[in-house]
Amino acid sequence: MRIAILGATGRIGGHVLNWALNAGYPVTALARSPEGLLQTAHRLDPLVLDAAGREAVGTAAWNGTPQGGAGLSVVRGDALDKTAVAEVIAGADAVISALGPRGVKAPPPGVLTGAASNIVSAMRQTGARRLICVSAAGPFIGADPNMSWLVKQILPRILAKPSADVRGMEDVIRESGLDWTLVRATRLVNGPGTGQYRVSPDYAPRGGGKIARADVAHFIAAALTGNSWLRSAPALAY
């Protein structure tokens, strides 16, 4: 399986990149700075799944020589560059977008929606079907039956612009006809992955408010290799 990764210089994308290369999958990644991508991959802890889809502990981090003879190709560009996105996705069997929102320090309005449009267009051209995108639980708390009234009043106002972009991204992907999974992460934190977290459809598990970036990557890897959560929006939290 050849994998295309967008957002590989971020911390979630970096963990996914490490996992894919350690597992021996050929990867093509999109990056404004290929040098930064390599630095990100080297400094993150390894993420490897065993045959049952669990995280394997004690494996060696990627050292520039992926197992199984697979390799890494890097396309210089960004997700709003339609030509660059098409080049990354050409020949891919699966596409992972780890571009996700970054709270109040979000990308300019429309970046995620625009990137999603480019990804869907490129996948339609190549015939690739499997798409996994990092999303967020926050933009959808208004309909969350487990969320308090006060949080529903405050959080959507604070995160209004990035939330609109996330919803736009999801709309594009839902209407694509692809085999998509929208990974709705709760509040992202740094720290080692545990492989132990809760997953529920659409809304965050009751009482769950955070998830490590490494565990988001862990879930993405498991969903990809297990071909699970198709056309679903699983929400992750401890």
How far is 53 from 104, CA to CA, in rounded Å?
A: 33
Going residue by residue through the chain, which has 238 residues, state the pLDDT in tens, using 9 for 90 and above.
999 999 998 889 999 999 999 999 999 999 988 776 766 655 555 554 444 443 332 233 333 444 444 589 999 999 999 999 999 999 999 999 999 755 445 556 689 999 999 999 999 999 999 999 999 998 887 556 676 545 655 665 566 567 889 999 999 999 999 999 999 999 999 988 999 999 999 998 888 889 999 999 999 999 999 999 999 999 999 9
Q: Which two tokens stand for residue 187?
A: 């509040």
Name the phi and psi angles at 138, rounded to 5: -55, -45
CB burial of residue 202 (10 Å; 0-12, 13-18, 19+): middle
Domain range 3-237, CATH class: alpha beta
What's the pTM? 0.83
Phi/psi at 207 (nearest 5 deg)?
Answer: 80, -5
